[in-house]
Structure 1
Amino acid sequence: MSNTTNLQLPLIDANQNQKYVTHNEALTSLDALIMIDVVSNALSAPPGSPADGQRWIVAPGGSGAWSGKDGNIAAWQSGAWNFYFPGQGWTAYIANLGALYVYDGTNWNPVRGAGTAAGNRLLNATFTLNQRGAASVASGAYGFDRWYVLTETGSVSLSGLTDPETGAIAGIRLTQPDASAKRIGLAQAIESANVRDLRSAAAILSARARLSVSGSIRYAILEWTGTADVPTKNVVNNWASTTFTPGNFFINTVNVIATGVIAPGASVWGALAGISGAFGASMANAIVFVWSDAQLAQNVTLDLDRMQLEAGAAATPFAFRPIQEELARCQRYYEKSYGQGVAPGSVTTAGISLCFLGGLPSAAYTGAAFVSFRSTKAKVPAVTGYSPSTGAGGKARDGAGSADVSVSIVGANVADSGFTWSAAAAGAAASLNLQLQWTAEAEL
């Protein structure tokens, strides 16, 4: 008896007895392999009470009845486990991820539209956006959109890179500015609504990195299981520790999903080889973190580009989002009235919110205006006003009186959709001309 080429279905021999046995075996295989819908790809050991016909893709490290079956389709059929080794091009819908995956001959990978970054859970992964205009950033503070700095002490200098290497449109440079050596790094916490579908599922982190000196670069995937969207940003317990577990290098309140290290050589771009692991069932937020393994001397730089966290156990090629889509996504967490490339606090009237009335009887007027956000915020934001004429924070500009005046932005008048501000004119005038620049911060 032989088998078919593609699905390895048993063929009935003309002279064999009990032909129905072979026929039923082939039907059983077809039932498992046609329109493949698996429960999960996150289990490495058999579930306790599978229903007949249910299927799983065995996660790395298969054990028990699944030992040695990594990547296979495990089907519970007639009270026993049957295993089917996938062929290149096989597709399966993975229910716990809500996504279609394809087998490439080595790994199961998500099916994505060509040229899109739908699978990347990180925002501003190319470091194209720096709405804050951040140049020197303290530990725990946000700099480039969605990314915050972590360092042993003091601050880190940030700057953008343009076309840093073939295939990259942008990147970020972290410079160690202090005379005393220290470790530096960059992290991003992902909003719960954008990552919670990966509970009990595998994810993989990949990127490109470069140090200006010989040394090692470390990177990690972490999970926060506390209150959603309020993770502890400083995930480091002891920068000097060489044990990369909770309570040692990392704080006790995060779980370590995977860690990695590379040493690409001085001023050489290297791939952060994909590290993967399965999130727990209680994951609220995912955090990625990249840092210098050793303390860096003054003016040593760490460069990053093309960061990607995606579902699955195999990294796929980096795909770019259109800049307008990336900006809209980042504005969910930070938005400003200023033009792109203009730092908050700059002296400019471009983009101001304006409250203007002319032809009035001369009097000292109070005015108010509503600002509608371009993107609905992740939470009610903290709004800061700036004078467009002096850049002073907490001020609006009275154009009629040529003076800065205090601006009122009452918390009750701030929503995730917009805010109302008000100010009183500096003195009596026959017009009302109040001007305001602003920022809205809704970061995790």
Structure 2
Amino acid sequence: MDYPRSVLSSGLVDGKFVDEDAIAGTPGSLIPASWGNSVTQEILSAITAAGLKPDELQTDQLAQAIRQLSKPDPLQQFPVQVYRRNVLINGGFEIWQRGTTNQGPNIGGYVADRFRCDWNGSAAVNISRQVFPLGQTDVPGEPACFLRWQQTAAGAGATTHKVSQSIESVRTLAGKTATLTFWARSDAVRPLRVAIAQQFGAGGSEAVVKVVDVFQLNTTWTRHTATFQVPAIAGKMKGVNDCLTLSFDLPLNVLQTVDLTRIQLEEGPVSTPFEYRSFAEELLLCQRYFEKSFVNGLAIKANNGTNTCTATFTQIPTGNTGQYGMTIGFLVQKRVQPTVTAYCPGENSNQVWNQAMSKACTGTTLQSVAERGLSFATVTPVGSAPGQTLQLEWTADAEI
């Protein structure tokens, strides 16, 4: 909406309406019918969008309409645009610090950050990050990635085929109404059982499991949602590593391909649009639970090469001498004291590597570790000298 600048006969002065000045002999501005109608129509559009009936004798209807249109959904306790709705991390499957596939068809665990993939019964499963083509419309909102579970050997006697995420603190959503939303497809019509488990941790009460729903997947991307009541935890005992676990249970002992993306778990009875966070922010959230020294895209293993190793130190003592306090600060403070694994960049070992000599140190040990960082100690190679470069790769795991 703007002044009728394109209508020269409207008589605007400096782009605005003016009154007639009889003394000075200057005419007043004219309001063109087209402009007056468009202004009225714009106000009427806001009034009717708010569900109100226009009344020419009522002079506060626009104010009423603005208040009505700015209200959140009456069933939701906060507006759609409120930050931090999704209690899950990496629900769009963009972060894969450990690599974009599992290390083998019989190796599960964490692949996509914060999501575990577990199976048994001699099944063979490939877990991988898949990328949506640009401009696709099957899943709206231009998502980037999805997780694929591709079972290449059905196996036998399985008791679990599961994708899950454990959310820190069993207090999460306890006693509240929650809504789960996700997108999925499969190579055939298949059931997908979704459940939550309130796990009170070591030394705490027995876990409480609740089935959210059993969804029927099909060969096209479909949005699924369910609203449910999370059990209250009054009278329960909390132990160590308590959490709320959301699980997607796939069919057992069958060849299958299942794709998942845009998983959101939020408080309230309304399924809201997927909460997008930037890649950088999502990565920081993931690094509270897992962090690595390796360059992104590089496999986590020993003997990966020294050119990409960023964890470097300067040798202080002479050869065959202990060097201590090689300290590394984490980018993000960990949930708990992490489990640290060391990898030599120049050979298949866990030793510090002397880059100048292309030779491993000996006796490399984890000197100290805390939520904020770690410290290594080692014995420098025989014949090495002060000022040479020492290297070591590492991972720090604080998953639940």
- Confirm whether residue 185 of structure 1 aligns to residue 137 of structure 2: no
Distance 1:147 1:197 in 2: 17
Distance 2:380 2:315 in 1: 12
Per the alignment, residue 47 of structure 1 pairs with none
Give 3-state SS (helix, strand or coil) of 1:410's partner: strand
User: Which ranges in structure 2 are unaligned for 5 or more consecutive residues?
Assistant: 1-49, 51-66
Distance 1:295 1:205 in 2: 27
| Structure 1 position 196, deviation (Å) | 2.1
CA contact (8 A) 1:208 1:272 kept: yes
Per the alignment, residue 299 of structure 2 pairs with 343
CA RMSD of aligned residues (A): 2.9
Distance 2:381 2:310 in 1: 19
User: Which ranges in structure 1 are unaligned for 5 or more consecutive residues?
Assistant: 1-5, 7-86, 92-101, 231-251
Distance 2:267 2:300 in 1: 36
CA contact (8 A) 1:394 1:407 kept: no
Distance 1:393 1:377 in 2: 26
Higher mean alpha-carbon deviation, 205-214 vs 272-281, is at: 272-281
Structure-2-length-normalised TM-score: 0.70
Cα deviations by residue, 1:349-401 (Å, 9 ceiling, x for unpaired): 3243222148x7x64233231000000000001111111123x3422212233
Distance 1:151 1:110, change over 3 A: farther
| Structure 1 position 227, deviation (Å) | 4.3
Distance 1:309 1:430, change over 3 A: same
Distance 2:182 2:360 in 1: 46
Per the alignment, residue 119 of structure 1 pairs with 85
Per the alignment, residue 19 of structure 1 pairs with none
Q: Which amino acid aligns with 1:374?
A: L
Cα deviations by residue, 1:112-168 (Å, 9 ceiling, x for unpaired): 536x5x110111111111111142375772221111112233453211011174332
| Structure 1 position 212, deviation (Å) | 1.3
Distance 1:153 1:405 in 2: 42
CA contact (8 A) 1:204 1:274 kept: yes
Structure whose alpha-carbon radius of gyration is higher: 2
Per the alignment, residue 279 of structure 1 pairs with 231
- Runs of 4+ in structure 1 off by over 4 angstroms are 87-91, 137-140
- Confirm whether residue 257 of structure 1 aligns to residue 226 of structure 2: no
Give 3-state SS (helix, strand or coil) of 2:86's partner: coil
Distance 1:89 1:139 in 2: 52
CA contact (8 A) 1:90 1:103 kept: no
Number of equivalent positions: 314
Distance 1:294 1:439, change over 3 A: closer
CA contact (8 A) 1:211 1:301 kept: yes
| Structure 1 position 202, deviation (Å) | 1.7
| Structure 1 position 198, deviation (Å) | 2.4
Per the alignment, residue 377 of structure 2 pairs with 422
Could you tell me which of 170, 178, 189 is aligned with 1:214? 189
Q: Which amino acid aligns with 1:405?
A: C
Distance 1:427 1:339 in 2: 30
| Structure 1 position 88, deviation (Å) | 7.3
Distance 1:200 1:332 in 2: 26
Could you tell me which of 353, 356, 359 is aligned with 2:314? 356
Could you tell me which of 385, 390, 396 is aligned with 2:342? 385
Could you tell me which of 323, 344, 349 is aligned with 1:367? 323
| Structure 1 position 89, deviation (Å) | 6.7
Could you tell me which of 369, 378, 402 is aligned with 2:358? 402
Per the alignment, residue 199 of structure 1 pairs with 174
| Structure 1 position 407, deviation (Å) | 5.5
Give 3-state SS (helix, strand or coil) of 2:357's partner: coil
Distance 1:203 1:409, change over 3 A: farther
CA contact (8 A) 2:353 2:392 kept: yes
Per the alignment, residue 246 of structure 1 pairs with none
Distance 1:143 1:317 in 2: 26
- Confirm whether residue 161 of structure 1 aligns to residue 130 of structure 2: yes
Could you tell me which of 113, 123, 146 is aligned with 1:145? 113
- Confirm whether residue 171 of structure 1 aligns to residue 146 of structure 2: yes
CA contact (8 A) 2:364 2:379 kept: no
- Confirm whether residue 290 of structure 1 aligns to residue 233 of structure 2: no
Distance 1:437 1:140 in 2: 23
